[in-house]
């Protein structure tokens, strides 16, 4: 197994552990909604500290349900992953192209340096 394959395997195991361990260890069992977002947690904390707090502004768009909100978040994540994959693929392709061009230039210069009569 190559070094890159080992690193990728370890990274995948770490991501899987981050996803599974909170569920397996029951880290959110004491809460009514154990895995809500940080926005809901912040709102709860602010309400406990200052019950009369009024927000400065409201959201531009409020999704009609939690499912729509989750779908929009998943779409945003997919678009971001697509942009990153495109960027890294483009970088890799350019690097491979440069390597091939360098190898072709070296092969051409080597063939020119050797006498044809030998």
80, part of any domain: yes
What is the pLDDT confidence band of residue 24, given thresholds at 50, 70 and 90?
A: confident
Say whether pLDDT at 100 is over 80: yes
The set of residues, in sequence order, having a beta carbon less than 8 Å from that of 63 and lying 6+ positions away, is 69, 72
Q: What share of the chain is helix, strand, coil (3-state, %, to 5)?
A: 70, 0, 30
Q: Please check whether residue 72 lies inside any domain of the structure.
A: yes
5 found inside a domain: no
Residue 29 resides in a domain: no
Q: How confident is the model at residue 117 (pLDDT cuts 50, 70, 90)?
A: low
Listed in sequence order, the DSSP H helices in 28-65 are: 38-49
Averaged confidence pLDDT in the chain: 86
Query: Bigger pLDDT: 93 or 27?
Result: 93
**CA torsion angle 48 53 57 63 (round to 10):** 40
User: Do 28 and 22 touch, CB atoms closer than 8 A?
Assistant: yes
Residue 99 resides in a domain: yes
Q: Compare 33 and 62 and report the one with higher pLDDT.
A: 62
Task: With respect to residue 50, please indicate whether it lies within any of the assigned structural domains.
Answer: no
**pTM as predicted:** 0.52
Total count of domains within the chain: 1
- 49 is a domain residue: no
Task: Average the pLDDT over 87-113 and give the result.
Answer: 88
Q: Give me the pLDDT at residue 37, please.
A: 72
- Tens-digit pLDDT profile for residues 29-55: 777 766 677 777 888 889 899 989 888
Residue 14 covered by a domain: no
User: What secondary structure does DSSP assign to 16-34, as a single string?
Assistant: HHHHHHHHHHTTTTTSSST
pLDDT for residue 42: 85
Q: Which residue has the tokens 């009609």?
A: 64
Range of the domain at 91: 65-112
């Amino acid at each position: 197994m190559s070094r890159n394959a080992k690193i990728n395997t370890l990274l995948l195991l770490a991501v899987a552990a981050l996803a599974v361990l909170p569920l397996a260890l029951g880290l959110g069992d004491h809460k009514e909604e154990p895995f809500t977002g940080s926005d809901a947690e912040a709102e709860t904390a602010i309400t406990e500290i200052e019950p009369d707090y009024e927000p400065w502004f409201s959201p531009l768009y409020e999704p009609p349900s939690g499912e729509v909100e989750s779908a929009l978040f998943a779409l945003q994540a997919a678009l971001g992953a697509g942009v990153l994959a495109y960027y890294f693929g483009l970088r890799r392709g350019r690097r491979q192209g440069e390597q091939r061009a360098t190898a072709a230039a070296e092969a051409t210069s080597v063939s020119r340096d050797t006498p044809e009569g030998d």
